[in-house]
Amino acid sequence: MILQHERRQAWNRNGWSMKNIQTSNDRWVMVGVLWLVHALAFMNISSFGILAPFIKEDLHLSSLQIGFLISALSIGASVSQMPAGLIVDFAGVRRMMTLAIGLIGLFLILFSLVPSFSIALVILLVYGMANGIVTPAASKSVLDWFPAVGRATAMGIKQTGVNFGGIFAGLLLPTLAIFFSWRHSLLAVGLFEVVSAALIYRLLQESPVRSSPPQAPIAWKKILQMAMQRDMLILGGMVFCFMASQFCFSTYLVLYLTQEMKYPIVRAGQYFALSFLIGAAGRILWSLASDYFLAGRRKGILRLITLILFFSSLALGMISFFPAFSPLLLTAVLAFGISGIGWNAIYLTMVGEAVGKESTGLATGAGYSFGFLGSLICPPLFGLLVDQTEVYGYAWLLPTACAGAILVLLNFYEEKEKETPSPIHSAAVSR
């Protein structure tokens, strides 16, 4: 009885009530639902890179124009990230996430019907705005439900949904495109996602922490203040480079393998899927190492990830220049996967821990707005380098340079002390 009374007092001091307390199993079910959301959302984004050879031929596009398609998506996402993060903080995760998945599926259906490049750009711009809701909402949910120790692990597992979306797309879409068409494959995925939105609404539980609604519908002053904080500018520079590297890789890997390395499309899709599989493992392993071996410290893990990204990007470029090194291609692709795709969970945890829990959605949105600027600028630049030089080697130096910039920025970031585990979570573990 005394222990229960002490726990109740501790819960009340932390702003919780008995009604808010969920068991450990409930929290992990939530992570599973968020995993599904990420898988559905990123299967769409992956599809554009995987089906790029078909889209390029059907719409008569250059490599630069393929990059502009990804840029249109990124413009929409960068515009919506911070407002979405702010709205999620007070409106809640459940409704926003359901809205996002339904809209993503709808716009993918519309994209499967596009007759021209210009219309494709407009659809992907609006599609990106819907996609921009997913990361702030999902990250807020994990940061609200989990304590400091264990938070990165939960974030890592949730973020593997992104990787498995890429895996499913890499294994499924090339085959569907060969037997049917790229349009039919995207139509099928879009219809599935529209139906899945209802399932997401039914399964998702609301986050226990919610801030008060802002006085204005969109508090632009609060958004600007968050974005201009010193730590957010440094973290924003890092995610700019990470997202630039990841989107260059996911947009052009299949084109690189099919056009320059002369791989068949199905094998190229398998390499794409393998990179995302190793990236999924990386997100969990990096998170476990940070949580349980480094006592919640994130900066050292992110530095190691960045070093691997630097050398794997450099290796992809060297293989382009010196085909004799092509037996190392799979190794380079997997190394990029564990770093250039596996970075996400550690970064998101760092962003969430840089602010108070009531602002985690806004902070994540602010960080990812910088990130989507990277995916806006760099994929077209990558494509332009390919078009101008007619080889991929120079273009692969772009993510190499991004990794170098992250290593510099890490020297300026000061990691904050970690909070002690909440009595809520200790109680849940002891049950």
| pLDDT tens figures, 203-217 | 877 766 555 554 444
Size (the chain), residues: 431
The pLDDT value given to residue 133: 82
The pLDDT value given to residue 90: 67
The pLDDT value given to residue 417: 61
The structure's pTM equals: 0.71
Superfamily (CATH) of domain 23-208+221-418? MFS general substrate transporter like domains (1.20.1250.20)
Domain edges within the chain? 23-208+221-418
Lowest mean pLDDT among 163-172, 184-193, 212-221, 325-334: 212-221
Lowest mean pLDDT among 81-95, 130-144, 416-430: 416-430
| pLDDT tens figures, 362-412 | 666 666 677 777 887 888 899 999 989 889 999 999 999 999 999 999 888
393 contacts 317 by C-beta, under 8 angstroms: yes
d(CA 43, CA 257): 20
Per-residue confidence band for 136, with pLDDT thresholds at 50, 70 and 90: confident
Per-residue confidence band for 152, with pLDDT thresholds at 50, 70 and 90: low
d(CA 17, CA 3): 16
> What does the buried/exposed string (b/e) look like for 389-415 if buried means 16 or more CB atoms within 10 Å of the residue's CB?
eeebbbbbbbbbebbeebbebbeebeb
| pLDDT tens figures, 228-270 | 667 778 888 888 999 899 989 988 998 999 988 889 988 888 8
Task: Say yes or no to pLDDT of 87 above 60.
Answer: yes
In the predicted model, what is the mean pLDDT of residues 100-116?
90
The pLDDT value given to residue 226: 59
| pLDDT tens figures, 23-47 | 566 777 778 888 888 888 877 777 7
d(CA 37, CA 130): 13
